[in-house]
Structure 1
């Protein structure tokens, strides 16, 4: 293992440790640790690290607008991974499984911010990208979350049932 690979592994370990804190309910400490790591890697750091960190940093936010900003950073970083020329296609293909979750997160953010049209756009993108998901716990969980948010948005008070962009009226 090279020094750079060891450093990258250590960085992902630190991100993982912050995520454990987040899932244990210590949002503030998770946010602090993720913020420190973000300061180290910055906007120009490795796209996979930025995508992973921003995706979890969004979950650590208390303000829906801040959550949206971090989820947008995660999507931008994922797009950077996809658009980077690579000798091996595997990293690009592996990123496809993250798009349903990234777009689902954005849809949920927009729904919290009472922007249902933007939420529907990202929900449609999540649904369209869901074909990349495996038939496993993660894939089934993301598909179920997409369906739940679709139902919620379709029956929002005052709006009545509304078709999603990929559906005909």
Structure 2
């Protein structure tokens, strides 16, 4: 979703980044355990950026598509509660609003896994509507390509 180095001095984002490296290294169970512990520390009312980021990555650590969907919905809900200042703040080159294409892409993928194509299409549409928040960098290009792949998968259903 974002480069953890973009929030200097934010120890929670650093810790989320460390667990994300475990996840990307293939240790899903340990990542789930550590994300769960962090979620308990942050709490349901903790910083919305922390909740959004953690939930987005926690979704990727799930083995069950329903659990993945639940975490992605938490991530979107947290993003929607970010304060106006936080929503427009830039951490390096990525505005928080640039999370929305990725969040909606993840939800579309979840719904497709759950054989709920109408909801998948709805979130693909929302991801497309938010694409203007992305730049032409590698992150933006990756999200656009992932959207095209998911659209092809959805068209095949």
What's 1:90 paired with?
89
What's 2:50 paired with?
49
RMSD (CA atoms):
1.9
Could you tell me how far apart the structure 2 residues matched to 1:150 and 1:89 are? 29
Could you tell me how far apart the structure 2 residues matched to 1:49 and 1:59 are? 16
Using the TM superposition, give the Cα deviation of residue 151 of structure 1 relative to its aligned residue in structure 2, in angstroms: 1.0
Could you tell me how far apart the structure 1 residues matched to 2:77 and 2:61 are? 19
Tell me the SS of whatever aligns to 2:124: helix
What's 2:25 paired with?
24
Could you tell me how far apart the structure 2 residues matched to 1:109 and 1:133 are? 22
Moved over 6 A (4+): none
Any conservation in 1 of the 2:32–2:62 contact (CA below 8 Å)?
A: yes
- Structure 1's unaligned 5+ residue stretches are 157-169
CA shift in 2, pair 1:96/1:89, >3 Å: closer
Q: Summarize deviations over 1:76-104 as a string: whole Å, max 9, x none.
A: 000001xx24399435x922110000000
Could you tell me how far apart the structure 2 residues matched to 1:64 and 1:48 are? 23
What's 1:34 paired with?
35
Any conservation in 1 of the 2:86–2:96 contact (CA below 8 Å)?
A: no
**Bigger relative contact order (CA 8 A; separation at least 6):** 2
Could you tell me how far apart the structure 2 residues matched to 1:26 and 1:51 are? 21
Work out the number of aligned pairs and report it.
Answer: 148
CA shift in 2, pair 1:24/1:58, >3 Å: same
Larger radius of gyration: 1
Tell me the SS of whatever aligns to 1:25: coil
What's 2:145 paired with?
144
What's 2:100 paired with?
99
- Structure 2's unaligned 5+ residue stretches are 1-6
Q: Normalization by structure 2: what TM-score?
A: 0.89
CA shift in 2, pair 1:134/1:112, >3 Å: same
